[in-house]
Amino acid sequence: MKKYNVAVVGAGVVGIEMLRVLKQRNFPIDQLKVFARSARDITVDGQVYSVEPVSADGFNGMDIALFAGTEGEKGAAVTFAAEAVKRGAVVIDNGADFRMDPKVPLVVPEVNGADVKKHKGIIANPNCSTIQMVVALNPLHKKFHIKKIIVTTLQASSGAGKLAVEQLNNETALIAQGGFNSVQASGVSRSMPQQLAYNCFPHIGSFVEGDYTNEEWKLVRETHKIMHAPKIKISATTVRVPVRTGHSESIYIETQKSIDPSEARKILAKSPGIVVIDDLKNNLYPMPKDAEGRDETFVGRIRQDAFNKKGLWLWVVADNLRKGAATNAVQIAECVISSSK
């Protein structure tokens, strides 16, 4: 089996998860480099990785470069992606910088894996909330032709990075010690715009056109691009919730054809990357605590709109650090090496 030289750029929560996923999926690696702003050693699942300062020449000889990305900001890919491509690497970027570039494929392998063949050196990894939604909806779109999507996301703190998880942990501990006023009295530092412990708020990203956030527009524009379906009407509300890891989504779709819940369950259960958990008699449905550490997208609470036979509700859950970021990026890399054979 041919082996590849792989670089992982970033040693935060997503970069660490990329290292974990590469190992767990037995990606065929010859040489592995880990880059970040500064040199140090990190330990992931008992294995020590030596982190080098990122530089253009560090990509010499690399076949694949996985950029962990910095959501909402100009990350390392802006500076170094082109340099990595010049040196022969295929860049897979988890940040937002290239996603809507018409020359850059935006890929979820279960949905549009063939699009990797169109790359000119860079492939974009979609937003975490978009990935799990399109995995769940694309099989239904193929059969019933979705016309409209209304989605509310309930996104975990880890989607905002390590500091957001620390904020949640610190606030929860303070409240447990001293009641609800203890967070305000402590002056605990925040990486998010509001208190998260014992709270939730509809504010992820920046408020932009139409008073939607840029996170909400990502769900619209990225879905159109990935599913090759620009006419689907999509409206989203994104909510930060006091969960460590695992995004949940309440999704309503309206289709051109009548859609029966039992048929939808059968289609989804046979689709790659999906696990259906929909046993209401036994109180079984997807939950973020059960999705954490898993690569599948979980779907449940599948039910028809009581007033519209062409309307269907779904509840969709996935680990935002794995399928929503690291795993999807590694799967893209797997598609790249498969398409090159």
Concatenated DSSP letters of 204-272: -S-B-GGG-BHHHHHHHHHHHHHHT-TT-EEEEEEEE-S-SS-EEEEEEEEESS---HHHHHHHHHTST
- Cα dihedral sign, 159-128-45-60: negative
Q: Which residues are catalytic?
A: 128, 247
Dist. CA 172–CA 73, nearest whole Å: 28
Alpha carbons within 13 angstroms on the beta-carbon side of residue 150 total 6
The dihedrals phi and psi of 282, each to the nearest 5 degrees, come to: -105, 15
CA-nearest of 118, 34, 42, 120 to 81 is 120
Task: Answer whether 169's CB lies under 8 Å from 307's CB.
Answer: no
- Round to whole Å and give the CA distance between 164 and 196: 9
CA dihedral 293, 295, 299, 300 (to 10 degrees): -30
> Reduced to 3 states, what is the DSSP secondary structure of residue 72?
coil
Question: What is the SS3 assignment for 52?
Answer: strand
Strands 29-36 and 47-53 turn out to be parallel
288 closest CA partner among 144, 161, 129, 148: 129
pLDDT of residue 340: 80
Residue at 319: amino acid letter: D
Specify whether the CB–CB gap between 99 and 129 falls below 8 A: no
CA 219 from chain center: how many Å? 11
Q: Using CA atoms, how far apart are residues 210 and 112, in angstroms rounded to an integer?
A: 30
Q: What is the pLDDT of residue 190?
A: 85
Query: What is the reported pLDDT for 341?
Result: 72
Q: What is the pLDDT of residue 8?
A: 97
Question: Would you state the structure tokens that stand for residue 129, as one six-digit string?
Answer: 């909330």
In whole angstroms, what is the distance from residue 302 CA to residue 193 CA? 33
Q: Starting from the edge strand earliest in sequence, which strands make up the sheet with 308-318, in order?
A: 233-240, 146-155, 247-255, 308-318, 297-305, 274-276
What is the predicted pLDDT for the residue at 189? 77
Query: Around Cβ 78, how many Cβ atoms within 10 Å?
Result: 15
What are residue 244's phi and psi, to 5 degrees? -70, -60
- Indicate the SS3 state at residue 18: helix
Per-residue pLDDT of the chain (341 residues; tens, 9 = 90+): 899 999 999 999 999 999 999 999 999 999 999 999 999 999 999 999 999 999 999 999 999 999 998 643 356 888 999 999 999 999 999 999 999 999 999 999 999 999 999 999 999 999 999 999 999 999 999 999 999 999 999 999 999 988 999 999 999 999 988 876 767 767 677 899 999 999 999 999 999 999 999 999 999 999 999 999 999 999 999 999 999 999 999 999 999 999 999 999 999 999 999 999 999 999 999 999 999 999 999 999 999 999 999 999 999 999 999 999 999 999 999 999 998 87
